[in-house]
Homo-oligomer: A and B are copies of this chain.
Amino acid sequence: MTAAAAKTDDVGVIMAGIGAAARDAAAPMAQASTAAKNKALTVAAETVVASTEQILAANALDLEAAKTKGLSAAMTDRLVLTVDRIAAMANGLVEIAALDDPVGAVIAEWDRPNGLHISRVRVPLGVIGVIYESRPNVTADAGALCLKSGNPAILRGGSESFHSSRAIFQALQAGVAAAGLPAGALQLIPTRDRDAVGAMLAMSEVIDVIIPRGGRSLIERVQKDSRVPVFAHLEGVCHVYVHEDADKDMARDIVVNAKMRRTGVCGAAETLLVDRSVRDSHLPMILDALADAGCAVRGDAETMAIDSRATQAGEDDWRAEYLDAVMAVRVVDGLDQAIDHVNTFGSHHTDAIVTADSAAAETFLAKVDSAIVLHNASTQYADGGEFGMGAEIGISTGRLHARGPVGVEQLTTFKYVIHGTGQTRP
């Protein structure tokens, strides 16, 4: 047997075992009591805190390897764990325990004229695969959301966070065991072998949905190769459109917040559209505020004519997800052109209009084809927590099943439960 064949066999054997354990855990997890799931989460939180030293030691190994490998500063920052970050992670587990249990909730019920009583009842989605990159805390967040929603989870962390993810995972496992839940409820792939990702993407008999968390190349690869349905957002090319009836101060505050509050989140605005009729009244003040906040501007010809600090924007800029202190700015002819721009160049994630004209707002909200559309509010509200949904595993720009923030409810499906008294169909 060649070394390559032995390696592939090992991953195949590992993944088959993980798949079987996850499948076996699906029925008991679907029936698990809220109390048991919450106990698993609270014990996991306590164990995470109690294991702070071990988690930091594991993280030090990963950081050492990252240095050797020359990982970028941004990637390394995501990888770093501190006592505070570990405490925040534990707190996240407690918050997920405090969420309402979605499983068993009756979404709708009605009676039929023949006396049948029909209800739609939430049940877990099945087995969920999560593939993520360098943030080790995703191990806790994603694992806990799957557990709360009754879904066995197969987690595949990035190789650069291998030791950190394992240490966190061990704390979660302690919670699962303490609650008497099956070990197959939560599994972390114990190898860095990249073939494991390919194996996950092909496990359509075992895994019901895959959620990738990471950069564009990861998500594109998953979307391209997966035989399993995917909940993903490819990117957040979000817009703020300042309509001719926008209040000037409100427009400025929303634009600066949408762009600069946190530039690295998917709900950060990337492009500003401004009506020509308020170009001279509103735009200079907004550009000054962006400059004061440290934001560079790539503008069209009219923007450049107003502000010499702006550099020339090309079509690439209209499609860019900068995730940085850079904003593309375009002057538009009015509502129709703004809507057209958003639908053509955007990513169907989150887009906002600022206007005092409610008819214009309704047109924008109806015609912009995005998961989240806002009137007079910042795009940075694109977040499950801000929606009141509790923690989220991500924001989906797909149209099927889960659109927008993916929280515990979005990790469920439903069944129809029908009660009769002996009805037979005529």
Contact = CB atoms under 8 A, between A and B. Distances in A.
Number of chain A interface residues as a range: 35 or more
Interface string A400-422: 11011000000001111111111
Interface string A364-399: 011101111111111011000011100000000001
A335 to B, nearest CB: 14
A389 to B, nearest CB: 10
Interface string A162-206: 000000000000000000000000000000000000000000000
15 contacts: A116-B386, A208-B400, A250-B422, A253-B422, A254-B422, A257-B425, A258-B424, A261-B424, A373-B415, A373-B418, A378-B423, A378-B424, A386-B425, A403-B413, A403-B414
Given A375-B419, A378-B424, 6 more contacts: A118-B388, A229-B229, A374-B419, A376-B420, A381-B423, A403-B416
Contacts of A116: 377, 381, 386
A343 interface: yes
Nearest to A405: B416
A8 interface: no
A129 to B, nearest CB: 14
A366 B29 CA distance: 12
A400 B413 contact: yes
Contact of A416 (B256, B369, B404, B417): B404
Contacts of A387: 112, 118, 416
A79 to B, nearest CB: 26
Residue in A112, A125, A417 whose Cβ sees the most chain B Cβ within 10 Å: A417
Interface string A240-270: 0000000100100110111001000000000
Interface in A119-154: 123, 125-126
A221 to B, nearest CB: 15
Contacts of A422: 247, 250, 253-254, 376-377
A59 to B, nearest CB: 29
Given A208-B399, A413-B403, A31 B420 contact: no
A43 interface: no
A408 to B, nearest CB: 15
Contacts of A123: 369
A30 interface: yes
Contacts of A367: 27, 31
A31 to B, nearest CB: 7
Q: Give the 3 A-B residue pairs with the shortest CB-CB distance, closest first.
A: A377-B420, A257-B424, A401-B401
Contact of A112 (B126, B256, B386, B404): B386
B399 A125 contact: yes
**Which of A261, A343, A371, A403 has the most chain B CB atoms inside 10 A of its CB?**
A403
A125 B400 CA distance: 7
Given A208-B399, A371-B416, A423 B261 contact: no
Interface string A291-302: 000000000000
A8 B373 CA distance: 42
Contact of A253 (B112, B380, B424): B424
A373 B31 contact: no
A365 B117 CA distance: 13
A372 B415 contact: yes
A399 to B, nearest CB: 5
Contacts of A381: 116, 418, 423, 425
A208 B401 CA distance: 12
A370 to B, nearest CB: 7
Interface in A25-44: 27, 30-31
A374 to B, nearest CB: 4
A375 B420 contact: yes
A190 B156 CA distance: 46
Contact of A400 (B372, B401, B424): B401
Nearest to A230: B229
